[in-house]
Amino acid sequence: MTVQLQAAPPPSATSIAHADGPRLLADIGGTNARFALETGAGSIERIAVLPCGGYSTLAAALRAYLQLPELAGAGQIRHAAIAIANPVDGDLVRMTNHHWEFSIAGLQQECGFDTLLVVNDFSALACALPHLGAQQKRQVGGGAARAHAALGLLGAGTGLGVSGLIPAGDGWSALRSEGGHVTFSPASDAELAILRFAWTEFDHVSAERLLSGVGIELIYRALAHHGGRPDERLGVAEIVRRALAGECALCDQVIEAFCGMLGTVAGNLAITLGAQGGIYIGGGIVPRLGERFARSSFRARFEQKGRFVNYLAQVPTFVITAEYPAFLGVSAILADKLATTPGAC
C-alpha cells in the first residue's frame, strides 16, 4: 500500500530540536490513523494518514509509517504518544469503532520505545484547545470566552467524542469522558420520529448513534420513512454532497436535523461543565459543512434551554478548523510526561 506524506504545519521559528531525538505522535480514529514526528517543540512534520482498514493491527500501521523512506535518517525514536478514539483504562485497549486491540506494554516493547503514552483522542484534543490560534478556529454565534473558565469539546466523525478542560492550578486537567454514549433525547416531534425509527434497529439509542457518520445515514433513513419518500440508501459522503450542492431537499433536511441535535448536546455539555470558556466542535463532519453549519439551527438550539437561555447566550461556540489539532494536544501530554516536574496539560 502506497502512503504519501501530508503537508505539515510550518515549524515554529524558535523551535529547538529535542535533545533526546524526535518524538512519534499518532492520532488513531475509527477510519484513519495519522502519524507524525515532532523534531522540536512546535515542529511537527512528516505527517502521514493511513487507512485503518488497510492494516490488520495498529502495530502493522505503525511499522508501515516508521518504514517510510522519508523517515530514513530521522534517528532513533525513543518517546511516543498515541491518541486513540477509545476509552483507555489499563493496559489492554479494544477499539469501539474498529477491530484493533493491543497491549500498551506489548506495543511499547515491540517498537522499542522508552516511553509510550496512549490516551483518549478527545482528551488529547482537549489539551490542544489552549494552543489553537485565531486562524485555527471559527466562532459560530455570539458570546465571549471567560478567562480561566472550563472549556467543553465534542466532535462528530466515526463516533461522537466528548471531553473538556478544567482549570488546574497554572494548567488544565482534561476529562476522560465517554459522553457520546449518553442516551439521546429528542427536542421536537421530528426528532421523536427519528428516535422511534432508531429504536427499530437499536435497543439503546445514544447521542453517538445519530451524531456521527453512520448517524447521518440513520437520520436519512428515518426521515425518508417518516415522510414516505424513497430511501436510496445513500452513504454519508453523498448525503452531505447533495445537501451542500442543493440537489436534494431530504438530504438538506437530514443535515439540518443533525446540526440541531448537535446544538442541543453542545448546550447540555456547556451547562454540565459550566463551560464559560467556550464550547469547541471538532471531528471530521462539521468542518466540512462550512457555512451550512453556521446558518443552521445549531446555535439557536444550543441556547434553547428555557431559563438558562441568557446563560448560554454568553458562551461562545467554535468550530476547530486546524487540520491536525490532536497532534498539538498529544504533544503537550507527552512533553508534560517527560518534564522534570510534570503537571496538568
User: Are residue 201 and residue 252 in the same domain, yes or no?
Assistant: yes
Q: What is the pLDDT of residue 323?
A: 86
Work out the pLDDT band at 154, boundaries 50, 70, 90: very high
Say how far apart CA 123 and CA 231 lie, in whole Å.
Answer: 37
Q: What is the pLDDT of residue 340?
A: 60
User: Are residue 144 and residue 107 in the same domain, yes or no?
Assistant: no
Residue 279 inside a domain? The answer is yes
Share of the chain above pLDDT 90, in %: 75
CB 336 within 8 A of CB 345: yes
User: Mean pLDDT of all residues in the chain?
Assistant: 91
Copy the grid coordinates of residue 148: 480561566
For the chain, the farthest-separated pair of C-alpha atoms sits apart, in whole angstroms, at 64
Higher pLDDT, 42 or 219: 219
How many structural domains are present in the chain? 2
CB 332 within 8 A of CB 39: no
Strand stretches in the chain, DSSP E? 5-6, 23-28, 32-40, 43-51, 79-84, 92-94, 101-103, 115-120, 137-140, 151-156, 160-168, 171-174, 279-282, 317-320
User: Are residue 141 and residue 249 in the same domain, yes or no?
Assistant: yes
User: Are residue 21 and residue 105 in the same domain, yes or no?
Assistant: yes
User: Are residue 29 and residue 164 in the same domain, yes or no?
Assistant: no
Tens digits of residue pLDDT in 286-325: 999 999 999 999 999 999 999 999 999 999 999 999 988 9
Q: How many CB atoms lie within 10 A of CB 134?
A: 7
Range(s) of the domain holding residue 16: 5-125+324-338
**Containing H/E element for 13?**
none
Q: Which residues are annotated as a binding site for ATP?
A: 26-31
Q: Which residues are annotated as a binding site?
A: 26-31
User: Are residue 110 and residue 144 in the same domain, yes or no?
Assistant: no
Q: In Å, what is the CA distance from 212 to each residue of 158, 231, 328? A: 6, 19, 23
User: Are residue 286 and residue 166 in the same domain, yes or no?
Assistant: yes
Q: How many CA atoms lie within 13 A of 188 on its CB side?
A: 12
Query: Which CATH number does the domain housing residue 108 bear?
Result: 3.30.420.40
User: Are residue 69 and residue 191 in the same domain, yes or no?
Assistant: no
User: Are residue 141 and residue 275 in the same domain, yes or no?
Assistant: yes
Residue 345 inside a domain? The answer is no
Q: How many CB atoms lie within 10 A of CB 109?
A: 11
The answer, yes or no, to whether residue 341 has pLDDT greater than 70, is no
Work out the pLDDT band at 2, boundaries 50, 70, 90: very low
User: Are residue 140 and residue 68 in the same domain, yes or no?
Assistant: no
Residue 344 inside a domain? The answer is no
CB 161 within 8 A of CB 121: yes
Query: Which CATH number does the domain housing residue 219 bear?
Result: 3.40.367.20
Say how far apart CA 269 and CA 160 lie, in whole Å.
Answer: 13
Q: How many CB atoms lie within 10 A of CB 315?
A: 26
Query: Which residue type, as a one-letter code, is found at position 67?
Result: Q
DSSP state letter for 17: B
Residue 22 inside a domain? The answer is yes
User: Are residue 256 and residue 173 in the same domain, yes or no?
Assistant: yes
User: Are residue 148 and residue 66 in the same domain, yes or no?
Assistant: no
CB 92 within 8 A of CB 339: no
Give the residue-averaged pLDDT of 133-154. 95
Copy the grid coordinates of residue 261: 441535535
